[in-house]
């Protein structure tokens, strides 16, 4: 089953997909860095802050594409 089967009138915005993919890639990379630097609390804290920023950005992007105001 693909999206067209469920919602045939929905079109995917290419720019949205690119931005979402970039954020997901950043989250994957940060997860890797957290694992590699687990013995460095300062670095891990910095990475976690970046994860929080990227997660917030993804949420805002999803709310924007849905036409809703996201969390502030």
Chain centroid offset of residue 26 CA = 8
Tokens of 31: 């997860």
**Percent above pLDDT 70 for the chain:** 76
Q: Is 61:16 a contact under the CB 8 Å cutoff? A: yes
Res 13: pLDDT: 80
State how far Cα 28 lies from the chain centre: 10
Bigger pLDDT: 55 vs 64? 55
Q: Does the pLDDT value for residue 68 go beyond 60?
A: yes
pLDDT at 40 exceeding the cut of 70:
yes
pLDDT, one tens digit per residue, over 4-33 is 565 555 566 888 899 999 999 999 999 999
């Amino acid at each position: 089953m693909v999206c067209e089967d469920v919602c045939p009138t929905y079109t995917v915005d290419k720019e949205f997909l690119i931005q979402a993919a970039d954020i997901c890639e950043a989250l994957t990379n940060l997860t890797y860095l957290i694992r590699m630097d687990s013995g460095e609390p300062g670095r891990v804290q910095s990475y976690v802050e970046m994860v929080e920023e990227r997660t917030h950005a993804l949420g805002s992007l999803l709310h924007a594409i849905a036409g809703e105001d996201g969390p502030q």
